[in-house]
């Protein structure tokens, strides 16, 4: 980890339970002495796009310009970042991970999707904004996600002109699928591991 590194963790719909890998990541990074922004989005069980955008934009104003920022998004947090990128006036991040972004067809949301989710879709497919906002952006997807097929997620990557990495058999990359602690994402954040992503230990 560079001594000036800063981190921003963006959760998905419903927020995160204590077992979630983002919760473990927050604890691990703060234990290393890192500055971590981990905003709780308004009404996570009934997400509202404008409220989530306002919260994210407010959080970004607290991060000094020029800080080597790493952004780690999960699920709807990744979609929130896609909406934010076209609004960013300049490069604001060094590295961005978009982990398991969902793919929701308007009018046909998943049966367990909370109210308000449809407003997030489709997200902006602005490749220029994504390239401007961060030095590098990557998608991590699986071939067993209930909220997006790998082909659907690859459509995001193709349109945004960013790399996509397959984490096979990892579902929605959530505690239900064993992604409580995820040592690889911690090590990647601390610049001790590289892409492609590695699954959590059995």
Residue 128 is assigned to a structural domain of this protein: yes
For residues 130 and 88, what is the distance between their CA atoms, to the nearest angstrom? 9
Is 114 inside a domain boundary?
A: yes
Q: Tell me, yes or no, whether 100 lies in a domain.
A: yes
Q: Residue 1 domain-assigned?
A: no
In a domain, 147, yes or no: yes
Domains contained in the chain, number: 1
Instruction: Provide the token pair at 22.
Output: 């983002």
- For residue 178, what pLDDT is reported? 94
Residue in 202, 167, 198, 166 with CA at minimum distance from that of residue 183: 198
Domain holding 50, by residue range, is 6-189
Residues of the chain with pLDDT under 70: 1
In a domain, 178, yes or no: yes
CATH number at residue 122: 3.40.50.1820
Positions of E strands within 102-191: 134-141, 164-166
The per-residue pLDDT for 202 is 79
Q: Confirm if 85 and 156 have CB atoms less than 8 A apart.
A: no
Predicted pLDDT of residue 110: 79
Q: Is residue 200 part of a domain?
A: no
Q: Give 117-171 pLDDT, tens digit per residue.
A: 999 999 999 999 999 999 999 999 999 999 999 999 999 999 999 999 999 999 9
Please tell me the distance from the alpha carbon of residue 109 to that of residue 118, in angstroms, as a whole number.
Answer: 7
Question: Do residues 59 and 7 lie in contact, with contact meaning Cβ atoms separated by under 8 Å?
Answer: no
Residue 9 structure tokens = 């963790």
6, 170 Cβ separation under 8 angstroms = no
């Amino acid at each position: 980890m560079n001594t000036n590194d800063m981190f921003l963790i963006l959760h998905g719909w419903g927020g995160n339970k204590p077992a979630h890998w983002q919760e473990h990541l927050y604890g691990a990074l703060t234990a290393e002495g890192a500055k971590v922004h981990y905003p709780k989005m308004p009404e996570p069980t009934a997400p509202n796009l404008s409220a989530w955008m306002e919260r994210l934009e407010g959080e970004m104003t607290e991060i000094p310009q020029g800080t080597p920022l790493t952004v780690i998004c999960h699920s709807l947090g990744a979609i929130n970042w896609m909406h934010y990128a076209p609004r960013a006036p300049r490069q604001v991040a060094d590295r961005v991970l978009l982990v398991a972004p969902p793919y929701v067809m308007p009018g046909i949301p998943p049966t367990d999707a909370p109210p308000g989710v449809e407003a997030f879709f489709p997200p902006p497919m602005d490749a220029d904004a994504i390239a401007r906002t961060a030095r590098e952006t990557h998608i991590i997807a699986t071939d067993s996600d209930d909220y997006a097929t790998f082909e659907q997620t690859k459509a995001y990557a193709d349109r945004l002109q960013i790399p996509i990495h397959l984490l096979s058999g990892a579902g929605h990359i959530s505690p239900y699928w064993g992604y409580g602690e995820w040592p690889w994402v911690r090590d990647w954040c601390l610049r001790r591991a590289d892409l492609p992503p590695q699954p959590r230990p059995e």
